[in-house]
A = this chain, B = another copy of it.
Amino acid sequence: MAVDTTALVNALQTKIDRSRILTDAADCLPYSYDYSRNSHPPDAVVFATSHQEVVHCLSTCYQLNIPVVPRGEGTGIVGGSVPIHGGVVLSLERMQQILAVDVANRCMRVQPGVLNQSVQDKAAEHGFFWPPDPSSRQVCSVGGNLAHNSAGPRAVKYGTPRENTLGLQAVTADGKTLRTGVYTTKGVVGYDLTRLLIGSEGTLAVITEATLKLTPLPEAIGCLRVLYKDIHSAASAVSHIMAQPVIPYTLEFLDSACLNLIREHSSLDLPAQAQAMLLIEVDGPRVALPSAIQAIQQAASNAGLIGIDHAQTAAEKAQLWQARKTLSPTLRKIAAKKINEDVVVPVAQMAPFIQQLAEFAQTYQITIVNFGHAGNGNIHVNLLVDPNDAEQMQRSQQCLHKIFTLVIQLGGSLSGEHGVGLAKQNYIGYEIDPVTLELMQKIKQQFDPKHLLNPGKIFPKK
């Protein structure tokens, strides 16, 4: 459907400064793709700076029947912010205000374009943090975190955005303002639309403000590097750690391929026989840390253990995390197009799952590299493929089908934090049954009767 950009711009610029409306193809290009490398040009890009401008943009596009794709910083990896049907990319990146830090009530009100790191920095000034901490937190926005319910390592103990957001202000497809949730830690008046919007990937409404629940910074954090001679020992240790009372602050997992990458790309000293690593942090009152660490060490010890090192200095700890955080970009450099999955399995199923992945790698002759948030059973399964090798790409799709089928058999989920977007829309039926999926689509219909809001995402192509 061709968009009359002249009419669009004329209508938009009655309330949005013309300088914040792009229509030139070259100007719009950076807003045609996200980290998934899917791409489609928008007809226009609009930079909103206020709730009222979001309302105006949405109601204008509703009248003109033009799709609107909300976008934060474009760090998503499932194509969630790619405007596959053209229309307007509504960029929230200039809505960067931290509206209030309310220490007494332990919450913070922010606009959606605020970077995750800015939230962390501001909260830390007052002795708090906001638990969601994607690896991309230096460059990703809170709005994007909410859209995909994106978390990170700390989710194992402190939860995802759904457990750490009290309320939202949002705008529906036809430009109406919603206020969901509460400003308090309890409230059961009406249906929970806050959590419904969180993780809805911009398909129900555009979030223009969020009230984030803050958590006190732990007094102390200890960091352990635990090496194993094989991946099964590491996976089994994860189950044991999660079955005892001390919940780690973070519990990350890296397989042998990851360790090889680290050997090549960092100065971290890793013994040759190490084939898997757990990176574990434990937090709490300083006085309680030794016994907590001891409990974790005990649970982590099994026949495959090579050794446990306690990172003694901030520099040592930073080096470990640096190695972990650069894995995704490093992998992307070496593989022309890696397929980056973020499946979840129940923690107790991690060992058999990892075992089976090795067999799939063998069967389909695909290099599979695994790391991720082991405490949640959230594994980043990376299939290293060459998009120019058609035969290999076909094998990788077969392999993916096997992986997803297995994940569901084991009681898991296809995505822990990336979402569905374009990448998994054809697989959603593996996890969600037809009755439930139909209800989700009926809910979508209520928020967005013309199907203009981030169209063509999440649900299977018809």
Contact = CB atoms under 8 A, between A and B. Distances in A.
Contact of A287 (B182, B216, B288, B347): B288
Interface stretch (A42-50, A225-233, A438-446): A438-446
Contacts of A246: 216
A439 B183 contact: no
Nearest to A174: B435
A412 interface: yes
A155 B186 contact: yes
A243 B104 contact: yes
Contact of A183 (B150, B412, B433): B412
A285 B245 CA distance: 10
Contacts of A200: 191-192
A176 interface: yes
A439 B189 contact: no
A378 B186 contact: yes
A35 to B, nearest CB: 16
A287 B284 contact: no
B344 A186 contact: yes
A358 interface: no
A284 B102 CA distance: 26
Contact of A436 (B155, B178, B204): B178
A286 to B, nearest CB: 9
A178 B284 contact: no
Nearest to A211: B411
A376 interface: yes
Interface stretch (A8-16, A88-96, A315-323, A415-423): A415-423
A406 B277 CA distance: 55
Interface in A28-83: none
Given A191-B199, A245-B127, A292-B285, A373 B186 contact: yes
A179 B216 contact: no
Contact of A104 (B179, B191, B242): B242
A402 B112 CA distance: 35
A210 interface: no
A431 to B, nearest CB: 5
B127 A190 contact: no
B178 A435 contact: yes
Contact of A106 (B179, B188, B198, B242): B242
Interface in A76-127: 102-106, 127
A345 B186 CA distance: 9
Interface of A: 102-106, 127, 148-151, 155-156, 159-160, 162-163, 172, 176-180, 182-196, 198-200, 204, 216-217, 219, 239, 242-247, 284-285, 287-288, 291-292, 344-348, 373, 376-378, 411-420, 424, 428, 431-433, 435-437, 439-440, 442-447, 458
9 contacts: A104-B347, A182-B413, A183-B346, A183-B412, A189-B424, A190-B458, A193-B440, A285-B291, A439-B447
